[in-house]
């Protein structure tokens, strides 16, 4: 799997599957505000050959639209990472992602935007493509400040991108299953005066291709990252894998974590929350049990979201 430093050290280009004008324009705005000479989007697969009109700063620019994925379409210079931004529906996510990496096996990774991808499809993606850096399904993407914006992560308007200082690098990493909370944690970190090393959303579906454990290892291996801000939820065993990483000495950096869903303890049976995995099937997977396990292992864990914000504001 590619490391964050390798993303920084190389040029990065994006092929988009599907057409979402707001998301694609936000990637170009990020590139422009980061001082790049050209946009990172090299093509949009729409089923038609032609061009789509976007903006590069105040000027119009044309991006090629393609009938299908073809390795002959791209003439990338050496030392370039190629990424997939898959905006297609959940039912088409598996086959389209498989086709991309079959045609372009040297590609670095992908962001899968669709929600409710069939669970068998998600497991197939993990088995077949787990060696690639793939966030999602149901992910807002991957962000490396001034280098790569793969998805709507960090906002989709120029003001949001500018206000979040996404062209400035720092030492705080943002990791979350929730797309909305990924962007919220970015806002909290920036408001407290911090700058990002990288940020990503694993994805809200039950079986994201990139696991939280793997994302924490990315942060551990990234020389710029000093602190991880982590937003987790009830359900699943992800946090216990993080505890194991800590206990085995494989993760050593500072973490401020919040695990949402303690309200589930007020119900006779744990309710299903917004994300597919966000349901506690037993006592071990409740938010309270996870908070206790993380705190016992040495992570800094908040008891409320307001306390989480306070801890971030005190971070040096």
In 30-184, where do the E strands start and end?
A: 41-45, 50-56, 59-66, 80-86, 109-112, 133-135, 142-144, 148-150, 169-176
Please give the pLDDT value at position 313: 95
Please give the pLDDT value at position 276: 54
The Cα–Cα gap between 207 and 87 comes to 18
Residue 52 pLDDT greater than 70, yes or no: yes
Side by side, which strands form the sheet with 50-56? 50-56, 59-66, 41-45, 11-17, 80-86, 109-112, 133-135
Looking at every residue in the chain, the average pLDDT score rounds to 91
Lookup result for tokens 């505890």: 243
* pLDDT tens-digit series, residues 81-99: 999 999 999 999 999 999 9
Residues in the chain: 316
Assess if residue 219 is contained within a domain: yes
Assess if residue 268 is contained within a domain: no
Q: How many domains does the chain have?
A: 1
Lookup result for tokens 């292992």: 297
138: helix, strand or coil: coil
Give yes or no: 275 in active site: yes
5: helix, strand or coil: helix
Please give the pLDDT value at position 83: 97
- For 116, counting Cβ atoms within 10 Å of its Cβ (0-12 exposed, 13-18 middle, 19+ buried), the class is middle
Assess if residue 306 is contained within a domain: no
User: CB neighbours (10 Å) of residue 137?
Assistant: 31
Sign of CA dihedral 145, 151, 155, 157: positive
Q: Which of 121, 165, 258, 275 is catalytic?
A: 275
In 113-226, where do the E strands start and end?
A: 133-135, 142-144, 148-150, 169-176, 196-201
Q: Which domain holds residue 68?
A: 4-225
Please give the pLDDT value at position 269: 63
The residues, ordered by sequence, that sit 6+ positions from 124 with a Cβ below 8 Å of its Cβ are 94
pTM over the 0.85 mark:
yes
- Contact predicate 253/222, CB 8 Å: no
Q: From the CA atom positions of the chain, what is the Rg in Å? A: 19
Lookup result for tokens 């973490």: 255
Assess if residue 293 is contained within a domain: no
Identify the CATH number of the domain in which residue 8 sits.
3.40.50.720
Residue 204 pLDDT greater than 70, yes or no: yes
Assess if residue 214 is contained within a domain: yes
Assess if residue 285 is contained within a domain: no
């Amino acid at each position: 799997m590619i490391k964050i430093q390798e993303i920084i050290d190389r040029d990065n280009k994006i092929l988009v599957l599907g057409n979402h004008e707001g998301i694609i324009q936000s990637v170009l705005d990020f590139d422009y505000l980061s001082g790049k000479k050209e946009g990172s989007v090299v093509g949009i697969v729409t089923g038609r050959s032609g061009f789509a009109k976007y903006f590069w700063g105040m000027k119009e620019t044309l991006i090629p639209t393609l009938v299908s994925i073809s390795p002959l379409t791209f003439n990338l210079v050496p030392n370039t990472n190629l990424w997939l931004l898959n905006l297609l529906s959940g039912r088409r996510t598996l086959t389209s992602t498989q086709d991309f990496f079959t045609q372009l096996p040297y590609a670095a990774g992908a962001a899968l935007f669709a929600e409710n991808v069939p669970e068998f499809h998600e497991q197939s993606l993990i088995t077949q493509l787990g060696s690639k850096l793939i966030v999602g399904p149901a992910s807002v993407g991957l962000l490396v400040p001034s280098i790569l914006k793969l998805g709507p992560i960090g906002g989709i308007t120029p003001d949001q991108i500018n206000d979040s200082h996404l062209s400035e690098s720092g030492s705080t990493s943002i990791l979350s299953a929730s797309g909305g909370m990924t962007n919220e944690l970015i806002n909290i970190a920036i408001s407290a005066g911090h700058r990002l090393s990288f940020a990503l959303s694993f994805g809200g579906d039950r079986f994201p291709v990139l696991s939280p454990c793997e994302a924490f290892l990315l942060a551990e291996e990234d020389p710029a990252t000093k602190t991880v801000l982590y937003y987790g939820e009830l359900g699943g065993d992800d946090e216990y894998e993080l505890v194991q990483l800590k206990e085995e000495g494989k993760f050593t950096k500072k973490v401020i974590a919040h695990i949402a869903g303690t309200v589930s303890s007020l119900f006779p049976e744990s309710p299903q929350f917004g994300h597919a995995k966000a349901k506690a099937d037993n006592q071990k997977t409740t938010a309270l049990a996870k908070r206790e396990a993380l705190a016992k292992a040495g992570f800094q864990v908040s008891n409320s979201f307001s306390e989480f914000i306070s801890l971030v504001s005190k971070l040096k």
